[in-house]
Protein backbone atom coordinates (compact mmCIF):
# COMPACT_ATOMS: atom_id res chain seq x y z
CA UNK A 1 0.00 0.00 0.00
CA UNK A 2 2.80 2.33 0.92
CA UNK A 3 4.46 1.72 -2.49
CA UNK A 4 1.19 2.47 -4.23
CA UNK A 5 0.85 5.82 -2.49
CA UNK A 6 4.39 6.91 -3.23
CA UNK A 7 4.05 5.87 -6.89
CA UNK A 8 0.93 8.01 -7.14
CA UNK A 9 2.74 10.91 -5.48
CA UNK A 10 5.68 10.51 -7.86
CA UNK A 11 3.49 10.61 -10.94
CA UNK A 12 1.64 13.68 -9.65
CA UNK A 13 4.98 15.32 -9.19
CA UNK A 14 6.00 14.51 -12.78
CA UNK A 15 2.73 15.92 -14.09
CA UNK A 16 3.43 19.18 -12.26
CA UNK A 17 6.97 19.34 -13.57
CA UNK A 18 5.78 18.58 -17.07
CA UNK A 19 3.26 21.42 -17.09
CA UNK A 20 5.87 23.86 -15.81
CA UNK A 21 8.24 22.71 -18.53
CA UNK A 22 5.70 23.45 -21.25
CA UNK A 23 5.01 26.91 -19.80
CA UNK A 24 8.75 27.61 -19.79
CA UNK A 25 9.07 26.59 -23.43
CA UNK A 26 6.69 29.41 -24.33
CA UNK A 27 3.63 27.27 -25.06
CA UNK A 28 0.45 28.80 -23.64
CA UNK A 29 -2.34 26.31 -23.96
CA UNK A 30 -5.47 26.78 -21.90
CA UNK A 31 -6.29 23.05 -21.86
CA UNK A 32 -4.77 19.65 -22.53
CA UNK A 33 -7.24 19.25 -25.39
CA UNK A 34 -5.93 22.40 -27.03
CA UNK A 35 -2.34 21.16 -26.79
CA UNK A 36 -3.27 17.71 -28.10
CA UNK A 37 -5.11 19.32 -31.01
CA UNK A 38 -2.12 21.54 -31.77
CA UNK A 39 0.27 18.59 -31.69
CA UNK A 40 -1.85 16.06 -33.59
CA UNK A 41 -4.41 17.82 -35.77
CA UNK A 42 -3.47 21.44 -36.45
CA UNK A 43 -0.81 20.51 -39.00
CA UNK A 44 -3.47 19.19 -41.38
CA UNK A 45 -6.70 20.89 -40.27
CA UNK A 46 -5.65 24.33 -38.98
CA UNK A 47 -8.24 25.94 -36.71
CA UNK A 48 -10.50 23.46 -34.88
CA UNK A 49 -13.48 25.68 -35.73
CA UNK A 50 -13.17 24.38 -39.30
CA UNK A 51 -14.38 20.95 -38.12
CA UNK A 52 -18.20 20.84 -37.99
CA UNK A 53 -18.86 17.13 -37.49
CA UNK A 54 -21.09 15.79 -34.69
CA UNK A 55 -19.43 14.43 -31.57
CA UNK A 56 -19.77 10.71 -32.42
CA UNK A 57 -18.33 11.27 -35.89
CA UNK A 58 -15.39 13.23 -34.46
CA UNK A 59 -14.62 10.26 -32.22
CA UNK A 60 -14.80 7.77 -35.08
CA UNK A 61 -12.61 9.90 -37.32
CA UNK A 62 -9.91 10.36 -34.69
CA UNK A 63 -10.04 6.70 -33.72
CA UNK A 64 -10.24 5.12 -37.19
CA UNK A 65 -8.74 7.79 -39.44
CA UNK A 66 -9.94 8.30 -43.00
CA UNK A 67 -8.80 7.65 -46.53
CA UNK A 68 -5.92 10.08 -46.13
CA UNK A 69 -6.09 10.77 -42.41
CA UNK A 70 -4.07 8.58 -40.03
CA UNK A 71 -5.80 6.63 -37.25
CA UNK A 72 -5.02 7.78 -33.72
CA UNK A 73 -6.21 4.55 -32.13
CA UNK A 74 -2.65 3.59 -31.16
CA UNK A 75 -1.16 6.98 -30.38
CA UNK A 76 -3.93 8.63 -28.33
CA UNK A 77 -5.60 7.19 -25.23
CA UNK A 78 -9.39 7.19 -24.76
CA UNK A 79 -9.05 10.17 -22.42
CA UNK A 80 -7.01 12.05 -25.02
CA UNK A 81 -9.65 11.35 -27.69
CA UNK A 82 -12.22 12.94 -25.35
CA UNK A 83 -10.03 15.93 -24.51
CA UNK A 84 -9.56 16.71 -28.21
CA UNK A 85 -13.30 16.29 -28.89
CA UNK A 86 -14.19 18.61 -25.99
CA UNK A 87 -11.76 21.19 -27.32
CA UNK A 88 -13.11 20.96 -30.90
CA UNK A 89 -16.73 21.26 -29.69
CA UNK A 90 -15.86 24.35 -27.61
CA UNK A 91 -14.60 26.17 -30.70
CA UNK A 92 -18.11 26.31 -32.23
What would the x/- binding string for ligand HEC be over residues 8 to 37, using CB under 6 A? ------------------------------
How big is the CA angle at 25 (ends 47 and 8), to the nearest 5 degrees? 95
Distances (CA, A) of 31 to 2, 14, 92: 32, 18, 16
> Is the CB of 34 or the CB of 72 nearer to ligand HEC?
72
State the distance between the two ends of the chain, measured CA to CA, in whole angstroms. Answer: 45
Distances (CA, A) of 9 to 15, 41, 53, 79: 10, 32, 39, 21
Minimum CB distance to ligand HEC, residue 27 (Å):
17
Number of residues engaging ligand HEC in binding (CB under 6 A): 18
Site for ligand HEC in 32-91 (CB under 6 A): 40-41, 43-45, 51, 53, 58, 61-62, 66-70, 72, 84, 88
Chain residues binding ligand HEC by CB under 6 A are 40-41, 43-45, 51, 53, 58, 61-62, 66-70, 72, 84, 88
Amino acid sequence: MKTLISTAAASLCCAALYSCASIDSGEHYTSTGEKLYADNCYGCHREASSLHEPKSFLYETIHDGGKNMPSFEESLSEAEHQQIIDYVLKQR
